[in-house]
């Protein structure tokens, strides 16, 4: 499976899919009154036009504390993705970025990469 030069082919509400079938998404094990996620709602496929990514190593994204992440292409501009959360202080603010493909999964802690409302 090629991980060195991949392009984004689709964007859903909760995931990004690359041309090799690898999927990128955020995960938080939610409890009753809380939510933590990366917001892909404002992204379009045009945001990724002409961009290629090397997802074979951990340098394909940058953590932006208090905001979200930036996907760093091999060429062109980074694509910023905001992270949001709500927590009343009782629950966890854990947020993971997951890169999952056929036979592998990488999990990155991006808990500090979100704007959190409520009490932590």
Alpha-carbon torsion angle 63, 38, 4, 1, nearest 10? 140
pLDDT of residue 88: 66
Q: Which of 6-10, 36-40, 67-71 has the lowest mean pLDDT?
A: 36-40
Task: Tell me which of 86 and 25 has the higher pLDDT.
Answer: 25
What mean pLDDT is predicted for residues 91-116? 88
> CA 16, 21, 100: angle at the middle one, nearest 5?
70
Three-state secondary structure call for residue 3: coil
Residues 6+ apart with CB under 8 A from 66: 112, 113, 114, 115
Task: Tell me which of 119 and 60 has the higher pLDDT.
Answer: 60
pLDDT of residue 28: 79
Q: Long-range contacts made by residues 10-17, C-beta under 8 angstroms, separation at least 24?
A: 10/45, 11/40, 11/43, 11/44, 11/45, 11/48, 12/40, 13/40, 13/41, 14/40, 15/40, 16/40, 16/43
Both tokens of 7, joined, read 């392009």
What mean pLDDT is predicted for residues 53-68? 95
Total-model pTM: 0.88
């Amino acid at each position: 499976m090629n991980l060195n030069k991949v392009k984004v082919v689709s964007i859903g509400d909760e995931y990004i899919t690359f041309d090799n079938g690898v999927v990128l998404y955020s995960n938080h094990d939610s409890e009753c009154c809380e939510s933590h996620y990366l917001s892909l709602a404002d992204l379009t496929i045009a945001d990724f036009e002409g961009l290629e990514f090397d997802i074979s190593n951990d340098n394909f994204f940058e953590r932006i504390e208090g905001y979200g992440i930036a996907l760093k292409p091999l060429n062109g501009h980074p694509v910023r993705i905001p992270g949001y959360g709500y927590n009343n202080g009782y629950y966890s603010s854990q947020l993971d970025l997951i890169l999952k493909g056929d036979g592998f999964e990488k999990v990155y802690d991006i808990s500090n990469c979100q704007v959190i409302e409520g009490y932590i």
